[in-house]
Amino acid sequence: MSKLFKKATAMLNLHRPTLTRFANRYGNSKLPLWHQFVEEFTLEFCPTDEFELRQVAAKYNGCHQGKNSVEHFIQEFEGYRTLLPGEYENEWATRDRFVQGLRAEIRGRVFQYRPNSLAEAKFLARDFEKDSAPRTRDFRL
């Protein structure tokens, strides 16, 4: 796995809990230099051996929306996807895997439109989730 891929993955996975964890690790002591931070981060959060890659691939392959929102599912899906090598699968297979992971009612509607790309499938899923959200009506006169 290339160093560039590891650094890009590390940068894509920066979020508040991770940064808090690193801040707590160093406490009030001197924070590490940037290259030290990136090195420690990639060692801790990026899969480096075949076993770790297989674990990430299994989580990615089994990723489903469940009761979560489409936005949460997209974040989880992309989180696993960024940890896998770029040649893991092509665009169409990724799109199909994403659509298959959606809840049945959203999956059926997205599938009817036959999206050409993953971006289009994400857009349709977000749109259909908004449409299916219960609306409150005001019956007052």
pTM of the model: 0.63
Number of structural domains found in the chain: 2
72-108: pLDDT as tens digits? 999 999 888 888 877 788 889 999 999 999 999 999 9
User: Which one is predicted more confidently, 120 or 90?
Assistant: 120
In whole angstroms, what separates CA 45 from the centre of its chain?
14
Residue 101 structure tokens: 């992971």
Number of H helices, E strands in the chain: 8, 0
Same-domain status, 57 and 42: no
R_g of the chain, CA atoms, integer Å: 19
Is the domain of 39 the same as that of 90?
Answer: no
Clarify whether residues 34 and 94 are in a common domain: no
**137 in a structural domain:** no
Burial class of residue 27 in the structure, from the number of CB atoms within 10 Å of its CB (0-12 exposed, 13-18 middle, 19+ buried): exposed
